[in-house]
């Protein structure tokens, strides 16, 4: 696979920022979009914009077909057994809220326990906290060690027959840690608990097979997967989704409505009330087609090279400390520079055309754990290059000089 060809697939990567060629290292926040996705969005609005699932006319049927093809593409991408196990949502956050509200309210009672980890994104903390507060249940936290790895012995001792669900990220957006979700799922199932995996940071970087993982729920966002914003996925096992009450009421999620009684639609429509983000779903399907063409062999090889080179580069700069040293790590690298505030460093890097993220990355408990105000985070995608890393190095050295 030619990196220069890949670069031309992403029009935004060739723009300048503050007069400098863009170095985009904020893929953990959102990824850039290939032209094929941008074209699919334009095509929808210029050729067949219409509502889905309810029109007999040509345009509506065309839009419905493309939306449902996208659902199938997503099903195959994560190895789900049925396409009706793929629920479109506005994103990871919404998918987690759906499960916490619908499944949670029906299955979690006073004195039950919900288990999350010390390295969750706020969106995999707060919905569970809200549920536990409402139900009088307990939220328990799997601790991590200084390297940013979950302490599995402690996980084992926290698990009990009171544990109703374990909600855990596959890859930490701040530390880059790849969590042993397959093992976590098997251990949780042994105790009769379900598992929700937050795949926001994993789906773009490794092949996922929800059936072999045996995940009960797997959630992710389209925009971190080279697709549009405002669309994401909730995968759930058919039997579990069938048992769950609807999350929101409205059009499309019903079979019949009278003032006396409403009956609900089948999966996946039961969880898709109202007009969905049609173009978002179609765009996400295209993004996945694109990733399938690139292939995970290439993606994994490229990103592992970038991770190793960036780690070595950062370790060679005086006063730089990498936060998160897990053995199993993705191409997400947080670091701090002794004596400098991350925001100041980020501002100088931005002036040099380098987009990185600074702050707590929606993981304040991780900042508390390390007793730091925030980190500087470089998160790589397969379109990044070794030259990007060289520019980051030069940028850090410039920032250090300017701020000293």
- Closest by CA position to 225, among listed 281, 174, 180: 281
Minimum CB distance to ligand PLP smaller for 109 or for 248: 248
173 is an interface residue for ligand PLP by CB under 6 A: yes
Pick the catalytic residue from 362, 367, 372, 403. Answer: 362
Q: Is 246 helix (H, G, I), strand (E, B) or coil?
A: coil
First to last CA, the chain: 42
CA atoms of 101 and 98, how far apart (whole Å): 5
346 is an interface residue for ligand PLP by CB under 6 A: no
Angle, helices 342-351/386-403, rounded to nearest 10 degrees? 120
Binds ligand PLP by CB under 6 A, chosen from 177, 201, 302, 384: 201
Shortest Cβ 261–ligand PLP spacing (Å): 34
Binds ligand PLP by CB under 6 A, chosen from 169, 193, 302, 311: 169
Binds ligand PLP by CB under 6 A, chosen from 27, 117, 123, 334: 123
The span of 10-18, 66-74, 197-205, 373-381 binding ligand PLP (CB under 6 A) equals: 197-205
Residues 45 to 104 in contact with ligand PLP, rule: CB under 6 A: 91-93
Structure tokens at 159: 């698990």
Shortest Cβ 3–ligand PLP spacing (Å): 25
Q: Report the residue number whose CB is nearest to ligand PLP.
A: 173
Minimum CB distance to ligand PLP smaller for 148 or for 395: 148
221 is an interface residue for ligand PLP by CB under 6 A: yes
Q: Catalytic: 132? A: no
Give DSSP secondary structure letters for 316-380: TSTTEEEE---SSB-SEEEEEETTS-HHHHHHHHHHTTEE-EEE-TT-HHHHHHHT-S-EEEEE-
Q: CA torsion, points 275, 279, 280, 284, in degrees to nearest 10?
A: 130
Q: How many H helices and E strands in the chain?
A: 15, 17
Shortest Cβ 81–ligand PLP spacing (Å): 24
Structure tokens at 200: 């926001």
Minimum CB distance to ligand PLP smaller for 53 or for 307: 307
Largest separation between any pair of C-alpha atoms in the chain:
72
Minimum CB distance to ligand PLP smaller for 144 or for 313: 144
Shortest Cβ 60–ligand PLP spacing (Å): 29
Structure tokens at 29: 């926040």
127 is an interface residue for ligand PLP by CB under 6 A: no
CA atoms of 349 and 398, how far apart (whole Å): 8
Minimum CB distance to ligand PLP smaller for 121 or for 237: 121
Size of the site for ligand PLP (CB under 6 A): 12
Shortest Cβ 173–ligand PLP spacing (Å): 3
Shortest Cβ 200–ligand PLP spacing (Å): 3
- Closest by CA position to 62, among listed 76, 41, 46, 44: 44
- Closest by CA position to 332, among listed 205, 194, 197, 193: 205
The span of 117-125, 203-211, 285-293, 330-338 binding ligand PLP (CB under 6 A) equals: 117-125
CA atoms of 397 and 404, how far apart (whole Å): 11
Minimum CB distance to ligand PLP smaller for 173 or for 331: 173
Binds ligand PLP by CB under 6 A, chosen from 53, 66, 121, 164: 121
Binds ligand PLP by CB under 6 A, chosen from 124, 193, 302, 379: 124
Residues 236/217, Cβ–Cβ less than 8 Å: yes
CA atoms of 265 and 188, how far apart (whole Å): 31
Shortest Cβ 250–ligand PLP spacing (Å): 21
Minimum CB distance to ligand PLP smaller for 98 or for 348: 98
Binds ligand PLP by CB under 6 A, chosen from 198, 216, 303, 388: 198
Minimum CB distance to ligand PLP smaller for 165 or for 396: 165
Q: Is 22 helix (H, G, I), strand (E, B) or coil?
A: coil
Residues 319/376, Cβ–Cβ less than 8 Å: no
Where on the chain is the footprint of ligand PLP (CB under 6 A)? 91-93, 121, 123-124, 169, 173, 198, 200-201, 221
User: Which residues form the catalytic set?
Assistant: 362
């Amino acid at each position: 696979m030619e990196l220069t060809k890949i670069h031309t697939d992403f029009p935004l990567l060739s723009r300048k920022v503050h007069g400098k060629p863009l170095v985009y290292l904020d893929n953990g926040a959102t990824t850039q979009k290939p032209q094929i996705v941008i074209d699919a969005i334009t095509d929808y609005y210029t050729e067949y914009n219409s509502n889905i699932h309810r029109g007999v006319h040509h345009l509506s049927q065309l839009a419905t077909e493309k939306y449902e093809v996208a659902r199938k593409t997503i099903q195959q991408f994560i190895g789900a057994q049925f396409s009706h196990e793929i629920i479109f949502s506005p994103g990871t956050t919404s998918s987690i809220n759906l499960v916490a509200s619908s499944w949670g309210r029906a299955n979690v009672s006073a004195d039950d326990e919900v288990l999350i980890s010390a390295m969750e994104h706020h969106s995999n903390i707060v919905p569970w906290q809200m549920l536990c507060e409402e139900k009088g249940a307990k939220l328990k936290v799997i601790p991590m060690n200084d390297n940013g790895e979950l302490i599995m012995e402690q996980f084992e001792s926290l698990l009990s027959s009171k544990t109703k669900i374990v909600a855990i990220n596959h890859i930490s957006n701040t530390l880059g840690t790849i969590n042993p979700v397959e093992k976590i799922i098997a251990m949780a199932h042994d105790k009769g608990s379900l598992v929700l995996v937050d795949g926001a940071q994993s789906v773009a970087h490794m092949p996922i097979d929800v059936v072999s993982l045996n995940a009960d729920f797997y959630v992710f966002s389209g925009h971190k997967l080279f697709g549009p914003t405002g669309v994401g996925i909730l995968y759930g096992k058919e039997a579990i989704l069938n048992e769950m009450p609807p999350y929101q009421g409205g059009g499309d999620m019903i079979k019949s409505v009278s003032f006396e009684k409403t009956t609900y639609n089948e999966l996946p429509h039961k969880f898709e009330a109202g007009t969905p983000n049609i173009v978002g779903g179609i765009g996400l399907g295209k993004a996945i087609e694109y990733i399938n063409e690139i292939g995970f062999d290439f993606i994994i090889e490229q990103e592992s090279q970038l991770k190793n080179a960036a780690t070595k580069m950062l370790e060679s700069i005086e006063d730089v400390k990498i936060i998160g040293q897990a053995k199993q790590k993705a191409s997400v690298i947080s670091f701090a520079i002794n004596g400098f505030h991350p925001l100041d460093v980020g501002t100088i890097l931005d002036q040099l055309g380098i987009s990185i993220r600074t702050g707590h990355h929606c993981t304040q408990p991780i900042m508390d754990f390390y007793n730091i105000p925030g980190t500087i985070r470089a998160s790589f995608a397969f379109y990044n290059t070794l030259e990007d890393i060289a520019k980051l190095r030069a940028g850090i050295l410039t920032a250090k000089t300017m701020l000293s």
